[in-house]
Amino acid sequence: MPSYNQQSAVTVLGLGPMGRALAGAFLDAGLRVTVWNRTPGRDKELVARGAVSALTAAEAVAASPLSVLCVVNYDAADTIVRPDAVAAALKGRTLVNLTADTPGRARDTAAWAAEHGIGYLDGAIMTPTPTIGTPHAVFLHSGPEDLYREHSAVLDALGGTHTHLGPDIGRAASYDIALLDLFWTSMAGYAHALAVARAEGITAGELAPFAKGIAAILPAIIDESVADVDQRIFSGDGNPLSSAVSSMSHIVDAAEEHGIDSGVMRAAEGLGRRAMGRGFGASSFLRIIDILDPARADS
């Protein structure tokens, strides 16, 4: 077990499932941990394991040089850290905000922190609660590199991999939003596929092995798409957009024969047809990026 000096104490603000996991990982690593939550009672197990329960958020942040905040969104985060007493207690200390929200909110909070003399790092947790404290956890961080280096030994106690993405405070949130976009649109597609399969008498268990096969081809497609997108090649030699749109129209037809809502697939098909209308039918499907973001189509 790594050893930490007296300055390695950490406060965890917010004790939802993820906050409790973070505090637990810090405790497992041998750190002195102070915890606080707006709703009393969620700290009982952590206190039994050695955590110190603070009565107020100001008391909690004053107990440690580093505070880690993880709540549902930045509206909730603001109600915790922006009151005058808490901001005063944070002055000269560091706040690491692992709350998920937009890059703009991260930059706004960083500006507020700078005005109040608070060191600020923003971050994102890219893996679920059970991974925290294990090698499978994935954390992204952004903000001043010297501040990140100063606290990296404590943050590393959360396990897994930690990547500092640079000084732009909104960078971690930008990655988070993009990757969650991929995840949730994928999950929406999977839910639609399950609905179509069920309507045709196919169980989730029967579909699962083949669904995993489809998912398994995505890493290679992602690798191949890097040059396609960054160099704006958009080659459709293997599977042109026109073919993809035809395939999507079959999915919509089959689904709607069963009365299944196909809004997600219709949206994708519509983007493809708009790209074809621009003369991109021989390009790859990812040419729809120019339809989604026309302001940067020529950049």
Q: What is the DSSP secondary-structure string of 225-292?
A: HHHHHHTT--B-SSS-HHHHHHHHHHHHHHHHHTT---HHHHHHHHHHHHHHHTT-TTB-GGGGHHHH
Pick the closest to residue 229 from 140, 299, 178 (CA basis). Answer: 299
- Asked whether the predicted pLDDT for residue 250 surpasses 70, the reply is yes
- Asked whether the predicted pLDDT for residue 8 surpasses 70, the reply is no
pLDDT attached to residue 5:
41
Give per-residue pLDDT as tens, 158-207: 999 999 999 999 999 999 999 999 999 999 999 999 999 999 999 999 99
Give per-residue pLDDT as tens, 37-73: 999 899 999 999 999 999 999 999 999 999 999 999 9
Residue 150 to residue 145: CA distance in whole angstroms: 8
Domains and CATH numbers, the chain: 6-168 (3.40.50.720), 174-296 (1.10.1040.10)
Tell me, rounded to whole angstroms, the distance of Cα 35 from its chain centroid: 23
Residue 106 to residue 77: CA distance in whole angstroms: 11
Task: Please compute the mean of the pLDDT values over residues 18-41 and round it to a whole number.
Answer: 96
Structure confidence at residue 234 as a pLDDT band (50, 70, 90): very high
- Asked whether the predicted pLDDT for residue 247 surpasses 80, the reply is yes
Residue 211 to residue 191: CA distance in whole angstroms: 11
Give per-residue pLDDT as tens, 252-299: 999 999 999 999 999 999 999 999 999 999 999 999 999 999 988 876
The structure's pTM equals 0.92
| Ramachandran angles phi, psi of 120, nearest 5° | -135, 130
Q: Quickly tell me which residue has 């000096």 as its tokens.
A: 5
Task: Please compute the mean of the pLDDT values over residues 95-109 and round it to a whole number.
Answer: 98
Tell me, rounded to whole angstroms, the distance of Cα 270 from its chain centroid: 28
Residue 133 to residue 125: CA distance in whole angstroms: 12
Structure tokens belonging to residue 155: 């943050």
pLDDT attached to residue 17:
97
- Asked whether the predicted pLDDT for residue 104 surpasses 80, the reply is yes
Residue 131 to residue 136: CA distance in whole angstroms: 5
Question: How much is the mean pLDDT over the chain?
Answer: 95
